Structure 1
């Protein structure tokens, strides 16, 4: 792989490098892409007048220090990366600044923001409480701080304001989880896909200025939420 300062490097090749196939499969499962081929993501990233814009909120170059058996190591992977960074005071400050800088002045046409990653699950069937995901909660709170307005919960993996809906989906860096997430058979991860899918459909059908309520007038959280086990 070329170094970042290599003049031969095409910056459009960096996002989701080596993982664009999984990005395509995940977005295709939500009916946001017409194909699950990585080439479709290549095209969308390079397009100057496409339907989607791709960006990075928490860069994949973030690493965390891990101490194992007295030995220090730095790693950029692991299940606690997203929530660990976003929960730390320094990480939260970075997250707030990035949201304000890159999401603070979105065009009025933007109706949906898709974020990869849920974070760890709290609640659910084992406690009888609604599902809560640490990274989802951290980003929602950071967006409230950056925008200065409430981001109301739509269901366990999504939230909204008067302009757009934010939907979290499976992270492309975990092929095993992503495989189960895409699977049509009912399992813990595919239930999350159903939640994300419902929120995406709601976002695309919703008029941005309208309050997010279900067709029968019930609260959206009750209508869309599916308890994970």
Structure 2
């Protein structure tokens, strides 16, 4: 594939051996990690801004069988998505109901300004030995996965397939997630260096650029407790500096 996928289900077999994978059935596993073949895409394939989560969490993955496509992405967390995007200046600062409606409309608009998806388009899960079950969320999920050999291979495949050749119009990639002590930011920077060779440089602690696109990391929309309010600057907390850095980098990327 050359560029971003169109709105809907995505045809991709890069990470799966043998014949073509069956959607939401075929899996690839290595030790305590696995992926399920269910890549999806929302919004425009020719966007100015690409917005990426890490992978479909259990709420989104569990909705695939019985939820309309336009309602799957960021299911249950769209208000947080709106608050985060508003904080960095990508959508208006409005009331909660209107903000959620804006996000709903953006997700469904296949000819608009935004593209939505995830860095790993398929569902990532980790085996929880205590619960003896597979989990699609949990502490350190992002940076721990991309820190394994299996995760590195999957991430490189996915980024090569969908992020190497971006439309000329695309100027900004917004990545949900910072990781433990910014580990996810660091690993993502290395990934972009591998799949898009160029003059990559750091703008600040949460943003980097190759002078063509700028990548900005923001708080994860499913973060618990005070993490999102702290990042938004609602509380007096040092984490708010990351929100301010993200806002500054977004403004510069689109100016």
TM range (shorter): 0.7 to 0.9
Alignment map for 1:155-170 (pairs within 5 Å): 155-170=204-219
Moved >4 Å (runs of 4+): none
- 2:88 aligned partner: 30
**Greater C-alpha Rg:** 1
- Report the CA distance between 1:194 and its aligned residue: 1.0
Alignment partner, residue 54 of structure 1: 116
Question: Quick check: 2:89–2:251 contact (8 Å CA) kept in 1?
Answer: no
In the TM superposition, what are the counterparts of 1:72-221 in structure 2 within 5 Å? 72-121=132-181, 133-176=182-225, 177-205=227-255
What secondary structure, in the 3-state scheme, does the structure 2 residue paired with 1:55 have? strand
Which whole-Å CA distance do the structure 2 matches of 1:151 and 1:55 have between them? 23
Equivalent position of 1:214 in the other structure: none
1:22–1:175 CA contact under 8 A, matched in 2: no
Q: Secondary structure at the match of 1:99?
A: helix
Provide the rounded CA distance (Å) in 1 between the counterparts of 2:180 and 2:128. 18
Deviation at 1:117, TM superposition (A): 0.2
**Cα deviation 1:188-228 (Å, max 9, x = unaligned):** 221110111111112112xxxxxxxxxxxxxxxxxxxxxxx
The Cα shift of 1:51 comes to: 1.4
Shift of 1:19: 0.6
Deviations 1:156-211 (A, max 9, x none): 11110021100000000114211211134441221110111111112112xxxxxx
Partner of 1:220: none
Of stretches 80-89 and 149-158 in structure 1, the one that deviates more from structure 2 is 149-158
Q: CA deviation at 1:3?
A: 5.7
CA deviation after TM superposition for structure 1 residue 150, in Å = 4.1
**In the alignment, which residue of structure 1 is the partner of 2:64?**
4
CA apart distance, 1:56 = 1.1
The 8 Å contact of residues 233 and 243 in structure 2, kept in 1 or not, is answered as: no
Counterparts of 1:76 and 1:48, CA distance in 2? 28
3-state SS of the aligned residue for 2:128? Answer: strand
Are residues 56 and 171 of structure 1, via their aligned partners in 2, closer, same or farther at CA, if it must alter by over 3 Å? same
Bigger CA drift: 175-184 or 106-115?
A: 175-184
Larger mean CA deviation between 170-179 and 181-190 belongs to 181-190
**1:79 CA drift (Å):** 2.3
